[in-house]
């Protein structure tokens, strides 16, 4: 990393949910004007992956948007425009749709990378200004199945109910469907330290990934059979007398029904379903049950299935039956993927939720939030469609769409169909950092600020609320998302309630979340500026005045304004600290007035259910929505590579990352490659019932012979999500990204290739 004598601004990486700490130092000779420097922070302890090290390159005006674009009638192309013209055009488009078709004909689609302030503002804008129920976000594609399973079992959803620092101190970890070495490289050290401390690691993945290579035991089930695998392990726990009957009796309910479901999945049956041998099943149970403490961690593998909620529930049942929940150094956790995937769904951009993780259908929750917003509770619309269902409705019931921070042309399942739905809209407005594949389809594109150009909070996978601080002034033609919401609200008749100052938004968020499951009311910008984050729930035990303030002057109050920053809708350098030097990294010392320390570890005394007991949920294995057959005999699973992130919108614009991962590929076993007559590096065509993708073959023995793998970061002919299945989990509404049936064909003769 860059070495500098300048005082760096402490902030956090813009990518995954680790939200690694980093410093940003001025470097005028560098693209983006900033250099990444090391920063001591508990989560990553100074380490960064390649994406984090190169994150400032996307700040460069060479790769990002710097002025609004409007699609003109004369050329049909996106042409530069003023902010006034662009905002007027959006307001006109949304107003016309509402007038002609009603408020629910206007959709809003958000992103798991938006700060808490922006996610909160977007949800409020949809419900108060537009009056629409049609809002959801791409975080639905991240960990919604785990969230639903958390709610069913524990009464509360937080990705990890314990800090990452607990992982190396437990006795055994079962890691299900996660390749940390590539998706969250700085987190791999926790597993390395686990083994160095004498703990055991079991990795469940159909591929022998770099993470699986670190394991004491690697289980490689057939994609889509994780539910059967978990049930088979629980069957053996019961059969071998390894249940914790005292814990089950004192702290859980529903065991008999869950036990009966597991006993129907005997080891030999599970071996036939999953391909994992009975001796491997027994060894997994032995390793997991031998130590006093153990954990199960899941990620997208078991969650992105049409039975994802039940699958996660089966793993939670295993944790509960062995007494590994609600105790220090033990438990179940989900490794959230997107940067603010946790906070992004807590504060209102999810179809069925209000700020503070309140349910939109709860009259008390509606009354509380409506009171903060100053509106009639009856005016708030009810729950809308989930992410895929909303995208699928575009051009039908939903005529216009406002989209912030997402690229569904690449990231949505059945992507070619969703691209067609986007094209069929009467009106599409996109606010983004770069001209993504989705933005290219828009009628209006707004260039908005990035992580290093704006202040705001995010919540990482541990439930740790963090403060990102602005380190650089954005280009003159760029504004914040909060500015966009403020200006659109005013044009649509709501003059107040949408401030551009992120701390002012956060203060309102505190009041809205107070008393809710995700209570942020005891967290302030002052406190976040002096601590390494604060874990929610954190109620304001000593709140004053209106119940949301801390009785002190604002951390961003009073001092001369920075006109360029104010134009972008952002507090000035002087307001954020007391000098430019403080903005560049000096710590402003504040005295916190909230007595509550935050909650790093949940459920130690009771679970968040009405009776305080964790709930077993009976589940049973069922097939994937689409199983292989004679026409489509191979299973496809998808995932990520270390050098790219999500839909690649930002990382595909960084030369170093593109050099490491230049394009899509199809990973397949040598037996399968021989059967279709394709050699390593030759192009192969992958066909599903939804479309076709073409990419070079990567022949390796690290994958099952009945399975192929494709990363989903690219658009064009190698777009993996052209192939994936939109079948939805009945509870979480998560699409089945992780398993569908395909066939493989040689794209060209070997001589031509």
Is residue 344 in some structural domain?
yes
Long-range CB contacts for residues 23-29, cutoff 8 Å, separation at least 24: 23/585, 24/56, 24/452, 24/471, 24/472, 25/584, 25/585, 26/472, 26/584, 27/2
Greater confidence, 33 or 663?
A: 663
Rounded to whole angstroms, how far apart are CA atoms 625 and 727? 6
pLDDT higher than threshold 50 for residue 592: no
Cα–Cα distance, 64 to 33 (Å, whole number): 14
Task: Using CB atoms within 10 Å of the CB of residue 591, give its burial: 0 to 12 exposed, 13 to 18 middle, 19+ buried.
Answer: exposed
The predicted structure's pLDDT at residue 31? 73
Q: Are residues 119 and 47 in the same domain?
A: no
* Residue 264 belongs to a domain: yes
Please name the residue that has the structure tokens 């004007």.
33
Domain around 642: 634-746
Between helix 116-124 and helix 481-491 the angle, nearest 10°, is: 10
Residue 338 has a pLDDT of 87
By CB neighbour count within 10 A (0-12 exposed, 13-18 middle, 19+ buried), where does 27 fall?
A: middle
What mean pLDDT do residues 50-55 have?
A: 94
Tell me the C-alpha to C-alpha distance, in Å, between residue 182 and each of 1, 171, 661, 738.
19, 24, 12, 17
- Indicate the residue among 335, 366, 390 that finishes a domain: 335
Tell me what the pLDDT averaged over the chain comes to.
Answer: 91
- Cα 26 to its chain centre, rounded Å, is 30
Q: Are residues 184 and 317 in the same domain?
A: yes
Distance from C-alpha of 602 to C-alpha of 326, rounded to nearest angstrom: 7
Predicted pLDDT at 33: 85
> Would residue 30 count as lying in a domain?
yes
pLDDT in tens, 638-658: 999 999 999 999 999 999 999
Predicted pLDDT of residue 753? 39
Higher pLDDT, 425 or 584: 425
- Alpha-carbon torsion angle 666, 672, 678, 684, nearest 10: -30
CB 155 within 8 A of CB 613: no
Same domain, 383 and 447: yes
Q: Is 269 helix (H, G, I), strand (E, B) or coil?
A: helix
pLDDT at 615 over 60: yes
Residue 548, pLDDT > 50, answer no
Interatomic CA distance for residues 682 and 679, integer angstroms: 6
Same domain as 641, residue 732: yes
Helix axes 226-239, 278-289, angle to 10 degrees: 70
Q: Determine the 3-state secondary structure of 310 from DSSP.
A: helix
Give the count of beta carbons closer than 10 Å to the beta carbon of residue 213.
11
Contacts of residue 272, defined as CB under 8 A and 6 or more positions apart, other chains included, come to: none
**Could you tell me what percent of the chain has a pLDDT over 70?**
91
The pLDDT of residue 56 is 94
DSSP assigned state of 494: -
Q: What residues have CB less than 8 Å from 378, skipping those under 6 apart?
A: none
Q: Do the Cβ atoms of 317 and 247 come closer than 8 Å?
A: no
Entry field: residues in the chain? 753
Q: Is 600 a domain residue?
A: no
What is residue 569's predicted lDDT score, i.e. its pLDDT? 52
d(CA 695, CA 709): 11
Does 543 score more than 50 pLDDT? Answer: no
Query: Which of 404, 577, 584, 555 is closest to 479 using CA atoms?
Result: 404
Q: What's the structural domain count of the chain?
A: 4
Name the region of 91 (left: φ>0; alpha: ψ -120 to 50; beta: rest): alpha
DSSP 587: P
| Cα angle, residue 717 at apex, residues 713 and 722 outer, rounded to 5° | 70
Look at residues 305, 335, 365 and tell me which one is the last residue of a structural domain: 335
Q: Phi/psi of residue 444, each to 5°?
A: -140, 135
Cβ neighbours of 39 (radius 10 Å): 21
Q: What angle do CA 589, 592, 597 make, to 5 degrees?
A: 125
Q: What is the CATH number of the domain that holds 556?
A: 3.40.50.740
**Do 451 and 359 sit in the same domain of this protein?**
yes
Q: What is the mean pLDDT of residues 667-677?
A: 97
% of the chain beyond a pLDDT of 90: 87
pLDDT higher than 80, residue 573: no
**501 and 444 part of one domain:** yes
- pLDDT for the residue numbered 143: 86
Q: What is the pLDDT of residues 224-249, one digit of tens each?
A: 999 999 999 999 999 999 999 999 99
Indicate whether 363 and 487 sit together in one domain.
yes
Model confidence pTM above 0.75: yes
Residue that wins the pLDDT comparison between 607 and 591:
607
- Secondary structure E strands in 627-714: 634-639, 666-668, 683-688, 691-699, 707-711
Quote the tokens at residue 396: 């039908």
Per DSSP, the residues of 703-748 read B-TTEEEEE----GGG-GGGT-EEEE-TTT--EETT-EEEEEEESS
Do 682 and 647 fall into the same domain? Answer: yes
Contact present, 344 and 137 (Cβ < 8 Å): yes
Whether the per-residue pLDDT at 433 is higher than 70: the answer is yes
For 677, half-sphere exposure in the C-beta direction (CA atoms, 13 angstrom radius) is: 8
Helix ranges (H only) for 542-693 are: 563-567, 573-576, 580-583, 655-660, 670-676
Q: Pick the range with the lowest mean pLDDT from 88-102, 211-225, 737-751.
A: 737-751
Residue pair 40/52 in contact by the 8 Å Cβ criterion: no
Does residue 412 sit in the same domain as residue 319?
A: no
CATH number for the domain harbouring residue 298: 3.40.228.10
Name the residue with higher pLDDT: 583 or 369: 369
Q: What is the pLDDT of residues 261-286, one digit of tens each?
A: 999 999 999 999 999 999 999 999 99
**What is the pLDDT at residue 142?**
87
- Whose tokens are 């999945």? That residue is 265
DSSP letters spanning 122-190? HHHIIIIII--S-EEETTHHHHHHHHHHHHHHHS---S-SS-GGGGGGSSEEEEES--HHHHSGGGHHH
Buried b (16+ CB within 10 A) or exposed e, 119-152: bbbbbbbbbbbbbbbbbbbbbbbbbbbbbbbbbb
**Token digits for 84?**
């006034």
Per-residue pLDDT reduced to its tens digit, 313-372: 999 999 999 999 999 999 999 998 888 989 888 999 999 999 999 999 999 999 999 999
Establish how many alpha carbons lie within 13 A of residue 563's alpha carbon, considering only the half-sphere containing its beta carbon. Answer: 0
Q: Indicate whether 306 and 361 sit together in one domain.
A: no
Residue 624 belongs to a domain: no
- Whether pLDDT at 406 is above 70: yes
Backbone phi and psi for residue 280, each to the nearest 5 degrees, phi listed first: -65, -40
Give the CA-trace dihedral at 283, 289, 294, 298, to 10 degrees: 50
Task: Tell whether the model's pLDDT for residue 178 goes beyond 70.
Answer: yes
Q: Is residue 623 part of a domain?
A: no
Checking if the pLDDT of 2 tops 70, the result is: no
| Contact (Cβ atoms closer than 8 angstroms) between residue 1 and residue 48 | yes
Specify the pairing of strand 21-26 against strand 34-37. antiparallel
- Confidence tier at 588 by pLDDT (50, 70, 90): very low
Q: How far is CA 737 from the centre of its chain?
A: 15
Asked if the structure places residue 611 within a domain, the reply is no
Convert the pLDDT of each residue in 718-743 to its tens digit: 999 999 999 999 999 999 999 999 99
- Looking at the structure, tell me whether residues 213 and 305 fall in a common domain: yes
Domain-embedded: residue 669: yes
- Residues 426 and 355 reside in one and the same domain: yes
Q: Which among 556, 583, 610 is the end of a domain? A: 583
Could you tell me where the beta strands, DSSP code E, fall in 318-407?
331-334, 353-354, 358-359, 400-404
Predicted local distance difference test score (pLDDT) of residue 345: 87
Q: Which residue from 141, 120, 227 is spatially nearest to 518, judged by alpha carbons?
A: 120
* Mean pLDDT across 667-695: 97
Place 448 in a pLDDT band, splitting at 50, 70 and 90.
Answer: very high
pLDDT of residue 29: 79
Confidence category of residue 183, pLDDT binned at 50, 70, 90: very high
Residue in this structure with the two tokens 């505190």, named with its chain if needed: 510
Measure the CA–CA gap between 623 and 55, rounded to whole angstroms.
41
Whether 304 has a pLDDT exceeding 90, the answer reads yes
Q: Omega before 537 cis (within 30°)?
A: yes
Give the pairing type, strands 400-404 and 427-432: parallel
**Half-sphere exposure for 445 (CA within 13 Å, toward CB):** 25
Strand partners, 458: 466
d(CA 548, CA 521): 6
Q: What is the CATH number of the domain that holds 41?
A: 2.20.25
What pLDDT is stored for residue 6 in this prediction? 57
| Residue 513: predicted pLDDT | 97
């Amino acid at each position: 990393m860059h070495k500098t004598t300048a005082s760096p601004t402490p902030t956090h990486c813009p990518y995954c949910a680790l939200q690694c700490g980093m410093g940003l130092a001025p470097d005028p000779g560098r693209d983006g004007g900033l250099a990444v420097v090391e920063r001591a922070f508990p989560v990553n302890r100074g380490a960064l992956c390649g994406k984090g090290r190169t994150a400032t390159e996307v700040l460069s005006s060479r790769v990002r948007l710097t002025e609004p674009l409007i699609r003109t009638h004369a050329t049909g192309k996106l042409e530069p425009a003023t902010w006034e013209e662009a905002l007027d055009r959006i307001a006109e488009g949304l107003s016309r749709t509402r007038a002609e078709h009603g408020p629910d004909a206007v959709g809003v689609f958000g992103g798991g990378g938006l700060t808490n302030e922006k996610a909160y503002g977007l949800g409020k804008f949809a419900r108060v200004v537009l009056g629409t129920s049609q809002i959801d976000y791409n975080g639905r594609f991240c960990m919604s199945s785990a969230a639903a399973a958390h709610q069913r079992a524990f009464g509360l959803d937080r990705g990890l109910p314990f800090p990452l620092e607990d992982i190396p101190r437990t006795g055994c970890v079962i890691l299900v469907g996660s390749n940390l070495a590539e998706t969250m490289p700085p987190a791999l050290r926790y597993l390395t330290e686990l083994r160095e401390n004498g703990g055991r690691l079991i990795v469940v993945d159909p591929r022998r990934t770099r993470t699986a290579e670190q394991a004491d035991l690697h289980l490689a089930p057939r994609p889509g059979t994780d539910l059967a695998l978990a049930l088979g392990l629980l069957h053996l726990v019961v059969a071998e007398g390894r249940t914790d009957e005292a814990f089950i009796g004192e702290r859980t309910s529903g065991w008999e029904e869950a036990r009966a479901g597991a006993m129907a999945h005997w080891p030999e049956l599970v071996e036939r379903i999953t391909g994992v041998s009975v001796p491997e099943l027994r060894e997994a149970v032995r390793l997991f049950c031998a130590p006093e403490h153990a954990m199960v961690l899941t990620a997208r593998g078991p969650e992105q299935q049409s039975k994802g909620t039940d699958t996660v529930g089966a793993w939670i049942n295993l944790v509960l039956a062995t007494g590994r929940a609600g105790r220090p150094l033990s438990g179940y956790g989900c490794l959230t993927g997107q940067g603010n995937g946790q906070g992004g769904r807590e504060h209102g951009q999810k179809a069925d939720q209000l700020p503070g993780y309140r349910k939109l259908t709860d009259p008390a929750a509606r009354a509380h939030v409506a009171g903060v917003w100053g509106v009639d509770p009856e005016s708030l619309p009810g729950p809308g469609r989930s992410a895929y269902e909303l995208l699928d409705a575009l051009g039908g019931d939903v005529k216009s769409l406002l989209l912030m921070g997402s690229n569904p042309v690449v990231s949505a399942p059945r992507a070619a169909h969703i691209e067609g739905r986007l094209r069929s809209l009467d009106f599409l407005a996109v606010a983004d950092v770069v001209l993504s594949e989705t933005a290219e389809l828009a009628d209006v594109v707004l260039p908005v600020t990035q992580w290093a150009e704006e202040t705001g909070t995010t919540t990482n996978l541990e439930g740790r609320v963090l403060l990102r601080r602005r380190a650089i002034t954005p280009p003159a033609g760029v504004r914040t998302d909060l500015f966009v919401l403020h200006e659109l609200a005013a044009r649509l008749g709501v003059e107040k309630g949408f401030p551009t100052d992120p701390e002012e938004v956060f203060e309102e968020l505190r009041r809205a979340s107070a008393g809710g499951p995700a209570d942020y009311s005891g967290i302030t910008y002052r406190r976040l500026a002096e601590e390494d984050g604060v874990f929610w729930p954190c109620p304001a035990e000593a709140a004053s005045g209106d119940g949301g303030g801390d009785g002190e002057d604002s951390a961003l109050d009073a001092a001369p304004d920075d006109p360029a920053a104010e134009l972008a809708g952002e507090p000035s350098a002087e307001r954020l600290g007391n000098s430019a030097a403080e903005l560049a990294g000096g710590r402003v010392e504040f005295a916190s007035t909230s007595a509550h320390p935050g909650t790093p570890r949940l459920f130690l005394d009771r679970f968040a259910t009405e009776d305080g007991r964790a709930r077993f949920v009976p589940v049973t294995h069922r097939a994937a929505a689409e199983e292989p057959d004679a026409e489509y005999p191979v299973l496809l699973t998808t995932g990520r590579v270390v050098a790219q992130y999500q839909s690649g919108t930002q990382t595909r614009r960084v030369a170093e990352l593109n050099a490491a991962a230049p394009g899509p590929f199809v990973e397949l076993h040598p037996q399968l490659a021989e059967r279709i007559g394709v050699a390593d590096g030759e192009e192969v065509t992958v066909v599903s019932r939804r479309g076709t993708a073409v990419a070079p073959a990567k022949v390796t023995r690290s994958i099952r012979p009945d399975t192929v793998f494709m990363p989903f970061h690219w658009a064009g002919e190698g777009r993996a999500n052209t192939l994936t299945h939109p079948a939805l989990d009945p509870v979480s509404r998560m699409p089945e990204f992780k398993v569908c049936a395909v066939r493989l064909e040689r794209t060209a003769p070997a001589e031509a290739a």
